[in-house]
Amino acid sequence: MPFAFDSFIVEKEKPAFAVVMRRYSISMGEAQKIIDRGRMLCNGTTVTQKNQKVAGSIKVLRFFPKSRDLPPLFIRPHFMVFEKPSGVLVHPNKVLTPYSMLDEIRHYGGENANSVHRIDMETSGLLLASKNRETEILLKGMFEQKRIKKSYLAWVHGNTKEHFFVDAPIKVRTDYSTSKHKVAIDSSGKSAKTEFTKLLYNRAKDATLLHVNPLSGRTHQIRIHLFHVKHPIIGDPLYGTPFEIAEAYLEERLSQEDRIKYTGAKRLMLHADTLEFKSDCYYYIKSQIDFRKEIDKIERVKFSCFT
């Protein structure tokens, strides 16, 4: 498990934040986060205030990366690019998370390395990570300014048009009583645009491979836009399945057999394929995974687009 306690002794009373800052050479804000998350103990009791004076036996819950031998696809002095497998979280969502891409990022990039954008757990493909905090701030800013372009590949249900464009606003849902969709197409939502180009159609599987160019970066944008035009991504357990199937997936009780039966695959068939940006020079980075071969993992299903 990547999280473990670092134990040490503080002989003279000092403010908790100062102890954490000095021990790990981090900023006051980062030390505050550790304390706010209840990850510092003094003599067996959780420290709750950053200015609390502490001395004696100190324990701090820290992240110690455990690599599974997944080296970067591409590495530069200040950043790295990984091929994230489907089913792996980018960051641990709880202390007991056994493995995430952060294990590889910190293993290969050091204690201050971090991912600079989001990829859904079930999406595979390129993940950009910084090796220091200055680069992290720079790259995150470039994403916000749309100076980093991403493209995807998606296997979807049915035979699509050769080229199509979806311009439909997206709103984050707050009521999940009738639908388990995280977002919905809604006129009051935020602007969202996605461009799709057909690469090939497999008649035997009734599946189309699309090149996807998201022109905005909303939550689940590609998934909801494809569901909206009735060509959901194969393997998607949320957008295009009955309520009870989506609920079972979220509660981690959906069997692989039922997932294949209702979605056509064991995983979400979405892949982050390219990254393009300019910093010290121009970078065009392409995934080395041949996503066309993922067709072998798809089962043909009689698809109905549930709402």
Active site residues: 120
- Beta strand spans in 16-72 (E): 40-42, 45-46, 53-63
Q: Extract the tokens encoding 149.
A: 């372009």
**CA–CA gap between residue 47 and residue 39 (Å, rounded):** 8
**CA–CA gap between residue 167 and residue 191 (Å, rounded):** 8
**DSSP assignment, residue 103?**
H
169 near 189, Cβ under 8 Å? yes
**CA–CA gap between residue 91 and residue 8 (Å, rounded):** 27
Residues 6+ apart with CB under 8 A from 199: 153, 208, 209, 210, 211, 292
